[in-house]
Amino acid sequence: TQSHSEISRVKNLDKLQIGKHEVEAWYFSPYPIEYAHLPMLYICEFCLLYYPTLTQLARHRAKCTLLHPPGNEIYRHENISFFEIDGRRQRSWCRNLCLLCKCFLDHKTLYYDVDPFLFYCMTLKDDYGHHLIGFFSKEKECPEGYNVACILTLPQHQRKGYGKLLIQFSYELSKVEGKLGSPEKPLSDLGLLSYRAYWQEEIVKLLVNSDEEISLDEIANKTSITHGDIMHTCQALQMIKYYKGQHIIHLTDAVLEQHTKTMSKQKQSIDPSALRWKPPV
Ligand code: ACO
Ligand code: ZN
């Protein structure tokens, strides 16, 4: 479609500096035209304003007082926090977040109309402040039942388990809401890989820890993962058997072996008891 060719426009930015990190942009992002094709775009890691030169960023940094995303801290466990930010109340911050996000996502169109979304930003705290690691956005009202619209781990922090924390957090919110949820489609390749890994781990953990047979409904209710996502995951792992006229989910040796490996390299996870949150009304 036209909008697709529109958003897949040729990459305009080369490199970005975010805090102490330098990263390469992957895709086109609609930063103002005068910022395109600069050798480097300098981004304030706290307020997400962007500058064409280091001098201009430094001038801004001398005045900038923000030390965390501009919202309520709804979770803190060890050095990880989550901040909830309302797109309508923090319109320009959220637009800047979407501009940054678009550099690493090819198929999403969200940049300007941030009002219908909440943004859940994950930070890592040090003596200086709460540094942004990644985030997901979520529609305030979503008839399709999506619990994530867009999800991103900043490239300098990828492949360290943070994406899994973001995904887990999105399902913890769904559990509090008493709803099942699923990420907005289409997923990117990296999104699909990460979600599949998460779904598999959650489902297998339940199967391993229950002595009795466990139904699709029970898995869905305990994890907030939708029936469709559970079925697809189990099918891909060949865990569905047709037995006496019924579909049965059962563990295979291969899946068990993989699970043991995953558990042995267990990284950190979200502690649901550290969540201070009620669904927004
Ligand atoms: N290659 C292979 N497997 C991968 C890769 C990769 N590059 N990245 C993630 N995975 C899988 C692995 O199984 C990994 O577990 P492992 O490291 O123990 O093997 C698992 O996903 C989780 O990895 P994390 O380190 O927790 O994930 P990360 O912090 O890298 O974040 C994310 C994943 C958010 C998808 C990141 O790659 C990203 O921001 N990509 C760019 C934006 C994007 O594509 N977002 C998803 C779009 S879909 C949507 O928004 C609904
Ligand atoms: Zn700033």
Domains in the chain, CATH or no CATH each: 189-263 (1.10.10.10)
Q: What mean pLDDT, rounded, does the chain reach?
A: 92
Q: At what angle do helices 162-177 and 189-208 cross, to 10 degrees?
A: 60
pLDDT per position as a tens digit, 76-122? 999 999 999 999 999 999 999 999 999 999 877 666 799 999 999 99
- Please report which confidence band the pLDDT of residue 61 belongs to, taking 50, 70 and 90 as the band edges: very high
Position 155 pLDDT exceeds 90: yes
Measured in Å, residue 246 CA sits from the centre of ligand 1 at 34
Q: How confident is the model at residue 9 (pLDDT cuts 50, 70, 90)?
A: low
State the Cα–Cα distance between residues 29 and 13, nearest whole angstrom.
8
Concatenate the DSSP letters of all residues of 215-270 into one string. Answer: -HHHHHHHH-B-HHHHHHHHHHTT-EEEETTEEEE---HHHHHHHHHHHHT-----
Find out whether the peptide bond into 39 is cis, omega within 30 degrees of 0. Answer: no
Q: Tell me which residues have their CB closer than 6 angstroms to ligand 1.
A: 104-105, 148, 150-153, 158-164, 183-184, 187-188, 190-191, 193-194, 197
Ligand nearest to the CA of 165: 1
Which tokens belong to 227? Answer: 């029936």
Which residue among 108, 144, 190 has the greatest number of ligand 1 atoms within 8 angstroms of its CB, and so is best to mutate? 190
The greatest distance separating any two alpha carbons of the chain, rounded to the nearest whole angstrom, comes to: 72
Tally of CB atoms within 10 A around 40: 16
User: DSSP H helical segments within the chain, as ranges?
Assistant: 2-7, 54-63, 91-102, 162-177, 189-208, 216-223, 227-236, 253-264
- What pLDDT score was predicted for residue 8? 52
Using CA atoms, how far apart are residues 121 and 69, in angstroms rounded to an integer?
7
Residue written as token pair 């598999």: 200
pTM over 0.90: yes
- With vertex at residue 270, the alpha carbon angle to CA 269 and CA 275, rounded to the nearest 5 degrees, is 170
Given a cut of 80, whether residue 4 has pLDDT beyond it is no
Catalytic machinery residues: 184
* Nearest ligand to the C-alpha atom of residue 195: 1
**Amino acid identity, position 200:** Q
